[in-house]
Structure formats: C-alpha cells, structure tokens
Amino acid sequence: MTKKKRQRLTAEDRRKLIVRKAIDLFAQQGFRATRVKDIAEKVGTSDALVFQHFPTKRELYDALLEQLCARKHFTEVEQLLYYAPEYDLEDVLTKLSAWVLEQTEAEPAWLRLILYASLERDEAVEELTEEHFARIIEYVAYEIAEGQAAGRFRAGDPKTYARSFFAGLLGLSLMRTVVRDADYVRDETQRAAATHVALFLRGLEQQAGEKS
C-alpha cells in the first residue's frame, strides 16, 4: 500500500495558516503569553519558518490586524450609511448594530484580543479599537449632531453620545459572544440590535421644555 504524498502548502497558504493559528492563540492566551514557538507548534512547523514569513512578532501582529480588520468588511455597511439618499435613522442604526453583532459572532477572536490587549495594557489595544470602531463612532456622532441641529436630540457632545452607543453595543456583543449569557443570547441578532438602538434613541430625544 503506497502512502499518499503530503501536499506542500504554497508560501501564501502557509502565511495565512500562521496568521490564523496566531489569532487563535492570542485570543486564548493573550499576546504576552504566546510565544513564536507555540504558533510554530500549532502550524506544525519550526520557529525558523515562522520567522521567514514574519521576522518580528510585530510584523505577525500587523498581519493579524489586517486579517481581523473591520476595514475589509466595512464597505457593505458604508454603502448603507453614506450612500442611501433617504433613510430612517433608527432603521439604519439597527442594521449597523446587527452588522456589528454578526461580525463579532462570526469572529469572536477579535473581542477576546481587545480584552487581552486591555488587560495587558498592550499598545495594540488602541490600534485594535481604531481599526474596528473609529468610522462607526464618527458616523453615529455625525447623525447625532444633525439631529441636534434639527431640534430632535438633546444638547451634549455628539462624539460622547456616539461612544456611549458603541460601548453599549460592544458590551452586548461581549455578553452574547464571549460570556454567552442565556438572557443575552435569547434574542436573535436583529431583535437584539433593534432593542439596543430604540433605547439609545429614546434617551437622546429632546424632552418638552428642554433647551437644545
């Protein structure tokens, strides 16, 4: 009986495999606890080969960011946010929130990475949050400022409100994806997103007699 030849990976495929295993390990163990040796063992190769693809741990981390980065996926939601001629804000924010929840549920590793980076006080956390959150926060802040100008929303710093919106959404993602609390995973994604947005917008509405 002849043995099947093991198929050799191309350099690009091996590079992708290294990044994928690194994501898994960083998400399980954190940045500091993960050694290049651990990644090599997961890939089934040597430290030297990992270093051929990524001479420094920082270069590997940059590749990891590129793999998880929201900018690869943000095009679809950008189309919704910026190019629709007319829309209902609550509907758009619900779609945006559902999109974020779907992304975290499809790839929970980046939520874990953000938590580890924060706990380890790693400089990576700023880059992770910038890549994933900045444009969404800017968009929500813009819409809040427009609502304030029209007299619909209460006075206050739009960006602070937008950060609160996203912090709540991130907390919801965390409870649904990492903690897996039964009370949070009970609702399907669209309904969870709609509830989050409705509560946020109701809190922003200007009350009778309140100055804008």
Determine the pLDDT at residue 132.
62
Determine the pLDDT at residue 155.
93
Mean pLDDT, the chain cut into blocks of 10 residues (212 residues total): 60 87 82 86 90 85 69 59 69 87 79 73 63 78 91 93 92 87 88 95 78 56
CA dist 148 and 100 (Å) reads 25
Determine the pLDDT at residue 119.
72
Determine the pLDDT at residue 194.
95
Determine the pLDDT at residue 11.
82
Determine the pLDDT at residue 190.
93
Determine the pLDDT at residue 127.
64
Whole-prediction pTM: 0.70
- For 152-178, the pLDDT digits (tens) are 999 999 999 999 998 999 899 889 988
Closest CA to 69 of 16, 9, 133: 133
**Token digits of residue 209:** 């007699």
CA dist 84 and 103 (Å) reads 22
- Residue whose token pair is 């006080």: 121
